[in-house]
Amino acid sequence: MLRRGKLSAKRKLQYAIDVANAIATLHDMDKNGRVSLVHRDIKVSNFLISKDGEHLLVHDFNCARLMIESDSPCAFYKPECAQNRSPEECLGHHLTEKIDVYSMGNVLYAIVTSYLPYTYPRLYTEEEFRQMIINGTKPTLPERIENSQHPVNRVIVRAMKKCFTYNPSHRPSAREIAQELQNAYDMLYASSI
């Protein structure tokens, strides 16, 4: 997926939609309004490109957590901090499905920039990116992306920034991000569908 500059704008947006829809589907609510499944390990390497190259598919559910087994709130602890983790994970706080949404921002970052998060403009050390995540510092966007007027880059960056909302209770749902991206796709490519 990270073939520098090899993805068309349309393909980037389709991949972004695939990522958001995959996470949104995992988070679909049960009949009691609780999130069904949290992946807990959303990152670029946990998406496969379909055989035809048209779509991204989520895989690697070894860390996933079913959230429908009890009447307790959807929350758990998993203190860990890697470059694809959320601030609440790095801080060892109470966790919800919103960790997947934050991590989706890192995947969107990779789609739009062709870099893994916290590897541009240089590779940061583990302690450096840990502190950046804890402090709410988002991965640096290349200037060509940050200042891009291309509508696809702009919509993916806007969605990515929403995913990076520091407070998980203010972070949008994966379904909201998926819908925003799909609306943009429909608007931009409606005549070519």
pTM: 0.89
What SS3 state is found at 49? strand
Percent of the chain with pLDDT over 70: 85
Distance CA 10, CA 187 (A): 12
Distance CA 61, CA 63 (A): 5
74-101 burial string, b = 16+ CB within 10 Å, else e?
beeebeebebbbbbbbbeebebbbbbbb
Query: What digits encode the pLDDT tens for the residues 129-150?
Result: 899 999 999 999 999 999 999 9
Q: Domains of the chain by range and CATH?
A: 9-192 (1.10.510.10)
Work out the angle between the directed axes of helices 174-189 and 9-26 (0-180°, nearest 10): 150
Q: ω into residue 79 within 30 of 0, thus cis? A: no
Task: Quickly state the pLDDT bin for 102 (edges 50, 70, 90).
Answer: very high
